[in-house]
Structure 1
Amino acid sequence: MTAYLAKRLATGLATLLVASVVVFCVLEIMPGDPALLMLGMNAEPEALATLREQMGLNQPVVLRYLDWVCGMAVGDFGRSYTYSTPVHDLIGERILVSLPLAILSLILSTAIAIPVGIFAAARRGRPADTVTMGVAQVGVAIPNFWFALLLIYLFAVWLQLVPAGGFPGWSAGLWAGLKALILPAVALALPQAAILARVTRSAMLEVLGEDYIRTARAKGMPRRVVLWHHALRNAMIPVLTILGLQFAFLLAGTIIIENVFYLPGLGRLVFQAITQRDLIVVEGVVMLLVAAVVAVNILVDIGYAIVDPRLRTRR
């Protein structure tokens, strides 16, 4: 198990290094001058030169990259050009919205998808299976931003049960914060639940055809025990893969939903930083999201080893 984890950690570190090079190079070749954007088109050349020097934009590209990477290694993401605030402070404020939103969405998605996938697999070819997978297909096809607008109209405008947007902050209370995240979480969770339900059904159907399942049934085991204790565990590897990908998407891909609901999260921060040409903020947030994706993948690999003990000893 130790060698297995060491290999996964080494792969994750290599991924972070390659991603840092790609992110830095892509953002460096983007058109636009941050100093000119901050001072305006009519800025004096002397003022532009002074600001570029203060921002470190006059240094060689390699030196800027090394300074940036070494700073991130010790938790220093630099200072925002636009907000004149350390980037880690901006990230710390915004992640308190994006992370609970992603976790709540993943919990809702998993709680819906796995039972639905098992239900459909246990009734393969029956009308219940057809209807369930048809609804799941509709859920996959619906764009989440359009679904979010429907939720706002129904629950916020018409029924007035939850706020239509904004975030009061966790200082207003746990319920007030969760209430503001309910609609965004549902808008994110249901399309992902549709995908996960289809994957769960396919994985369960493959496992239900195995000999040990037929043997368990022949021994008279209850159907519920066969499905939940024998088939589900062996079908979890593809499900865990999709769960890891979905959490990464929910954490990094919420730009549209956060703008629809006017949530001050990481997605909205990245959107604002791109429009303001605040490269240091974009680089810091993107690398944080890459690190989160790598960490989730490592956790998924650990989940593989727990579900399938053969992976712990396989060379």
Structure 2
Amino acid sequence: MVRMILTRLASMAASLLVASVVIFVMLQAVPGDPAAFMLGLNAQPDTVAALRADLGLEGGLPQRYLAWVAEMLTGDFGTSYTYRVPVAGLVVDRIGVSAPLAAYALILTVVIAVPAGLLAATRRGRPSDWGVMGATQLGIAVPNFWFAMLLVLVFAVKLRWVSAGGFPGWSDPVAALGALTLPAVALALPQASILARVLRGALIDTLDQDYIRTARAKGLSRRATTIRHALRNAAIPVLTILGLQFSFLLAGAIIIENVFFLPGLGRLIFQGITQRDLIVVQSVTMLLVFAVVAVTFAVELAYTLADPRLRRGA
């Protein structure tokens, strides 16, 4: 078990190293000079050169890459070109919106997907199964930003139950959760559709196993057999999807955060791209990559808790 954990940690370190190189090289290859963008079209060359030196854009790519990585390892993510404040401070401010939004959406995903998957698996081939599969197919096909605009139209414009956008802060938790509800629903519906289909397939495979028939022959009810035995043994693919979905919800909510004007990490990256604030984009992207890799590592550890055979194999 210890060897497995050390191997996974080494794999995480290698993944982060490769990701840092790819992120840095790709952003440096983007056309346009941040200093010239900030100063405008009429800036003098010596002024642009002085600003480039102040922003740390002088020197070769290897030197700048090593300096960036060394600073990140010490917790220094650089200073924003646009806001002139530490990037770490911007991340701390924005993560207070993105992380609760991702967690909220993931909870809604599980609440919607588990009953739907159970219903479809236990009613296989019946109208309820067809209805769930049709709804999940629609949820996968329709983009989440369309769901977001539809939710705004219905609940904010027509019914006026919630605001159309913005975030009031956590000083009022009820208002904060209300502001995150529509974005979380818009994010959760497509993910719940995927999870429900995966759970249905895993449960159908599990319900056909011999030990399930043995449990039923011993007098255990169909519901108890499904919940106690089938659902737990079908948890491995579900955990995989949940881990990937949380990573997506944390890192991939850029469009939703812009639709609802939420001051999260996704909106910060979008603003950094439009303002050529490369240090913000590459540092925040690297943090999101680390979050994805860390969640994947946690999911692999959860496998060993869900399936004792994996612990013995490790």
Length-normalised TM-score, structure 1: 0.98
- Paired residue type of 1:147: F
The Cα offsets for residues 123-182 of structure 1, whole Å up to 9 and x where unpaired, read as 1111111111111111111111111111111111111111110011112x1111111000
Tell me, in whole angstroms, the C-alpha distance in 2 between the residues paired with 1:26 and 1:18. Answer: 12
1:205 aligns with 2:204: yes
* Amino acid of the structure 1 residue aligned with 2:188: A
Count of aligned residue pairs for this structure pair: 314
Give the aligned residue type for 2:148. A
CA distance in 1, matches of 2:8, 2:225: 33
Aligned position for 1:121: 121
The equivalent residue for 1:105 is 105
**Equivalents in 2 of 1:12, 1:83: separation in Å?**
32
Residues 1-315 of structure 1 correspond to what in structure 2 (within 5 A)?
A: 1-171=1-171, 173-315=172-314
Report the alpha carbon displacement of residue 313 of structure 1 after superposing the two structures with TM.
2.7
Give, as a single letter, the amino acid of the residue that structure 1 aligns with 2:29: I
Contact 1:213 1:226 in 2 (8 A): yes
SS in 1 for 2:90: helix
Aligned-partner Cα distance in 1 for 2:153–2:57: 46
**Alpha-carbon distance in 2 for matches of 1:2, 1:290:** 24
- Deviation track 1:177-225 (CA, whole Å, cap 9, x = no partner) reads 1110000000100111011000000000011111111111111101111
Q: CA separation in 2, counterparts of 1:151 and 1:273?
A: 28
Note the aligned Cα RMSD (angstroms): 0.9
Q: Distance in 1 between matches of 2:265 and 2:147?
A: 21
Identity %: 62
The Cα shift of 1:295 comes to 0.8
Residue by residue over 1:213-245, the C-alpha shift from the partner in whole angstroms, topping out at 9 and shown as x without a partner, is: 111111110111110110011101110111011
Q: Tell me, in whole angstroms, the C-alpha distance in 1 between the residues paired with 2:43 and 2:311.
A: 62
Which amino acid in structure 1 is aligned with residue 285 of structure 2?
V
Distance of 1:46 and 1:241 partners within structure 2: 54
Name the SS of the counterpart of 2:85 in structure 1: coil
SS at 2:25's partner residue?
helix
Displacement of 1:111 after TM fit?
A: 1.1
User: Normalization by structure 2: what TM-score?
Assistant: 0.98
Are 1:4 and 1:312, in contact at CA under 8 Å, matched by a contact in 2?
Answer: no
Post-superposition CA distance 1:28-52 (Å, at most 9, x none)? 1111000000111110111111111
Q: Distance in 2 between matches of 1:280 and 1:93?
A: 17
Alpha-carbon distance, 1:4 to partner: 2.1
Q: Gapped runs of 5+ residues in structure 1?
A: none
For 2:47 and 2:170, locate their aligned partners in 1 and report how far apart those are by CA, in whole Å. 41
- For the residue of structure 2 that corresponds to 1:263, the secondary structure is coil
Q: Secondary structure at the match of 1:170?
A: coil
Letter in 1 for 2:290: A
Matched AA of 2:104: L
Rounded to whole Å, the distance in 2 between the matches of 1:114 and 1:292 is 25
The amino acid of 2:33's aligned partner reads D
